[in-house]
Amino acid sequence: MSIAMGDFQQFEQDFYQSGYYIDDQGQVAYDYGDGYDHNPEYEDDGIDVSMPGVFTPSTGQAFQPSKPAGTYLYTAGTDRSFEEEPPLLEELGINFEHIWQKTLTVLNPMMPADGSIMNETDLTGPILFCIALGATLLMAGKSHFGYVYGISAIGCMAMYTLLTMLSSLTVSYGCVASVLGYCLLPMVALSAFAVIFSLQGIIGTVLALLVIGWCSFSASKIFISTLAMEGQQLLVAYPCALLYGVFALLTVF
């Protein structure tokens, strides 16, 4: 039996070669009171490492991270606050105040045109007026939507070429289309009048001539004020009269 116990002790010493003995357990102290190991290398240095949404036992509430001051006032990629952002319609190029001012300028040929507003490439009003002209022609039994858009496109290209050669300032195709489209408003009124009354007579011819002069005068006034073409209004009004004369023919006949 003593030989067997001696062999077991020798086996036990040979088995534990790592240097770990049961008597050494008291040398390492652990504190599990707060759930953390107080190793000097991992002492709290004052930095908050709490994760968003982590439950905090001391308060009984989930941790919610605070937003940096002023971050809710700004949008991505810009330095402007939401209060300084322009309206959505203005960002899309739709300004009802400018549309109304341009409409008043067309309706009142004697009203001076504001060159800064007229130089905008606003096509909202012209598109609406072209649709209104086609709709009133359709109400009179004339389906000319294709003619209206086709003549408008060709007329805008012709006027753009002419104004580029006459003006010393740079003119854009959108500006030309915008002005010619707004000045189409009196022609829309003539087409609406033709729905109820016939224009194939002396009265209709006189009204058509007056509307052509109205449209061409308003368009030439806006062009010379926008492009600084003083003294050339009649030269610009003539091709405008030819363009609006084609629309008058569609309206009368």
pLDDT at residue 95 tops 80: no
The contacts of residue 117 (CB under 8 Å, 6+ apart) are 98, 101, 102
Quote the percentage of the chain above a pLDDT of 90. 36
- Averaged pLDDT score across all residues of the chain: 76
Contact 251, 191 (CB under 8 A): yes
Task: Give the predicted TM-score (pTM) of the model.
Answer: 0.63
Comparing 20-24, 133-137, 234-238, 248-252, which segment has the lowest mean pLDDT? 20-24
pLDDT given at position 74? 44
Tell me how long the chain is. 253
User: Is the pLDDT higher at 72 or at 210?
Assistant: 210
